[in-house]
Structure 1
Amino acid sequence: MKYGYARVSSTEQNLDRQILALKEFVSEENIVVDKASGKNTEREGYQALKGRLGLREGDTLYVTSLDRLSRNKEDIKQELQWFKEKKVRLKILDLPTSLVEVPEGQQWILEMIQNVLIEVLSSIAEQERLTIRKRQREGIDAAKKAGKHLGRPVLSVPDNFSEVYSQWKRGNITARKAMEMLGMKSASFYRKVKEFEKK
């Protein structure tokens, strides 16, 4: 049985290009897709492929590139070991040597070439992931230096907060009344109460 696997990192990204490439080798109903990060292999579609209803000995799995499986070098090695143990052939479209059919008894040639290429490609995939994380970190640091606030906006406390808080705590007014007097929504009010009580 032939299967295909396609993955993009987020729901906004499009799978069409990968599916189109895989359809040359696999029927569309046998193409499994995920819209999830490649930082590890814990993805619904991919795990289903490896589960009871998926790949069996003698099956072939097609992917457009090695980083569709994972962007983590260690994970890629483990996955390749899994395919080897289960006797499932992995064919990677942008790795032509993985598509070659060799005569009986000469599979070691293919395996040797693939092992070298896989080592190189998995290192590149891992490096790309680390580079992306490094750039994100640098972007956050640069934004902080420029005085930009990242994340949830800082909630300003009304001048009369402690006075209204005291009235509410003494039971003179309800929480709803306190929020009304402060012009605050429920979540903001209780968040500020928590911060205020910690001080």
Structure 2
Amino acid sequence: MTYGYIRVSTGKQTVENQKFAIAEFCERQNLQVDAWIEETVSGAKRFDKRKLGALLGRVQSGDVIICTEITRLGRSLFMIFSIMAYALERGCAIWTIKEGWRLGDDLTSKVLAFAFGMAAEIERSLISERTRDALARKKAEGVHLGRPKGALGKNTKLSGKEEVIRVLLEHNNSYAAIARALEVDRSTLVRFCAARGIKRSVNCSGTAI
């Protein structure tokens, strides 16, 4: 089976451009798309909670998933690697049009999978190291890192981590990276920051993903 996978982040975006690109690619390759998987969802959302997860659950050896570019699968290296590893375990290949990758059961795919995995591990380690260093400095400065007394708002998974989030934002971490480190969706983190008045420093040169 050949699957065309299409993902857009908002309802304002259209799937037509991606669908056209995949159809045109398959025509050049003398392939036929047996099924289309289309969804409107953030790439930061866990893939097992998306249509992509359901697709990966039913693919078989020899199947191919085609998407326009690797970022259609997910918004982080760790997530993309997880999807790749899951697909490869089931013998399903992933082809991307923009990068020209054909990720299957071959040496090149295994090298790429290793590189993605190593990059994801490095990303997590760097975030963890920056967090420890930044919090240690704040603590040395006498800053209380717990939840402020009398703080209003619902009790959420992020409650009590306001200062941690402020420190991470001050040190150029993106909202997406922080959300991954704290194991929440990016949208949840953004709403929490807005509710608590937590903002990125004016002189911060980083760009939130």
**TM-score where L is the length of structure 1:** 0.52
The answer to whether the Cα contact below 8 Å between 2:81 and 2:116 also exists between their aligned partners in 1 is no
Q: CA deviation at 1:120?
A: 6.2
Query: Helix, strand or coil for the counterpart of 2:20?
Result: helix
- For 1:122 and 1:2, the matched residues in 2 are separated by 31
Q: Which residue number in structure 2 is paired with residue 108 of structure 1? A: 107
Change in CA separation of 1:76 and 1:128 when aligned onto 2, cut-off 3 Å: farther
**5+ long unaligned stretches in structure 1:** 143-199
| AA matched with 1:38 | G
Q: Quick one: which amino acid aligns to residue 31 of structure 1?
A: W
What is the aligned partner in structure 1 of residue 43 from structure 2? 38
Structure 1 runs of 4+ with >6 Å offset: 117-124, 131-136
* Deviation for aligned residue 1:21: 1.0
Aligned to 2:38, what secondary structure does the other structure show?
strand
Q: Deviations for 1:115-164, whole angstroms, at most 9, x for unmatched residues? A: 4478669999x9694499899969x757xxxxxxxxxxxxxxxxxxxxxx
When residues 113 and 37 of structure 1 are mapped into structure 2, their CA distance, relative to the original with a 3 A threshold, is closer
Given the alignment of the two structures, is residue 67 of structure 1 paired with residue 71 of structure 2, yes or no? yes
In 2, Cα distance between equivalents of 1:128 and 1:91: 29
SS at structure 2 position matched to 1:84? helix
Distance in 2 separating the partners of 1:31 and 1:122: 32
Counterpart residue number, 1:175: none
2:54 alignment partner in structure 1 = 48
d(CA) in 2 for partners of 1:63, 1:123? 26
Q: Does 1:93 align with 2:97?
A: yes
Aligned counterparts of 1:20 and 1:128: Cα–Cα separation in 2: 32
Query: In structure 2, what is the Cα distance between the partners aligned to 1:20 and 1:121?
Result: 31
8 Å contact from structure 1 (residues 7, 35) kept in 2? yes
SS where residue 12 of structure 1 aligns?
A: coil
- Computing the radius of gyration from Cα coordinates, the structure with the larger value is 1
1:112: how far off? 2.2
Contact 2:85 2:113 in 1 (8 A): no
Equivalent position of 2:10 in the other structure: 10
Offset, 1:72: 2.8
Q: 1:114 to 1:19 in 2, by over 3 A?
A: same
Higher helix share: 1
List per-residue Cα deviations over 1:33-54 (Å, max 9, x = no partner): 1101111314442133123xx4
Give the Cα–Cα distance (whole angstroms) in 1 for the partners of residues 12 and 101 of structure 2: 32
Q: Which amino acid aligns with 2:79?
A: D
SS at 1:31 equivalent: strand
Q: RMSD over aligned Cα, in angstroms?
A: 4.0
Q: Which amino acid aligns with 1:23?
A: A
Secondary structure at the residue paired with 2:42? Answer: coil
Q: How many residues align?
A: 135
**SS of residue in 1 equivalent to 2:75:** coil
Residue 30 of structure 1 deviates from its aligned partner by 1.2
Partner secondary structure for residue 98 of structure 2: coil
